[in-house]
Structure formats: C-alpha cells, structure tokens
Amino acid sequence: QLFESSSCTYTYILADGASGDAVVIDPVLETVPRDLQLLRELRLNLKYAVNTHCHADHVTGSGSLVRALGGRSVISRASGARADVLLSDGDEIKFGDF
C-alpha cells in the first residue's frame, strides 16, 4: 500500500512471487516515478494498471505506467472511461497464479 498525500489516494501493488507478474491498483500520475522505481527494484512485470473508479479532477497514472513498462490498463465498462480492458460485473483479471 502506497499513499499520495495531495489527492489522498492509496495505490496498491499486488504481485505473484513465482512469475513476477504485478498489478498496480489506482496509480496516481504524480507518483508514477515512485511506482516505476519500486516495480523495477522488485523486478516485477506490470501485467495490469487497474483503476477502481474514475475522477474528473485528476488523471490516473495508468497510461504512463503502461507506456513505460507494457501491460494493459483496466477499468469498469460502466465508468465510461477508456482502457485496454473494460470489465463488467463478475469479470476477473488474472496474473501469475492469481
């Protein structure tokens, strides 16, 4: 769990130790350098940058993370936002053994 104080946003990194696959949840644009450094230090491969919701008042860091490391951006189809993967109720994303 990581925190960005200006927007009071928590970002989470989940990873599968065996494969090195990682998911970053709710990345913040201003903290992309921190998140990139952490992912690289831990030798993790970004599989998904997931947004649990969409805010009109700030831009997420998903696009920047995906451009820097690969992977795919994810958000709910109901949000009306754009992403590589649009989820509907009951959908799952898989990474490593999870």
Question: What φ, ψ does residue 96 adopt, rounded to 5°?
Answer: 55, -130
Q: What pLDDT does 59 receive? A: 73
Q: What pLDDT does 83 receive? A: 94
Q: What pLDDT does 57 receive? A: 57
Closest Cα to residue 24, out of 2, 54, 53, 55? Answer: 2
Q: What pLDDT does 6 receive? A: 87
**pTM of the predicted protein model:** 0.94
Q: What pLDDT does 60 receive? A: 86
Q: What is the mean pLDDT of each run of 10 residues along the chain (98 residues)?
A: 92 97 95 97 98 77 96 95 95 97
Q: H-helix or E-strand containing 78?
A: none
Q: What pLDDT does 58 receive? A: 60
Enter the DSSP assignment of 55: -
Q: Which CATH architecture has domain 2-87?
A: 4-Layer Sandwich (3.60)
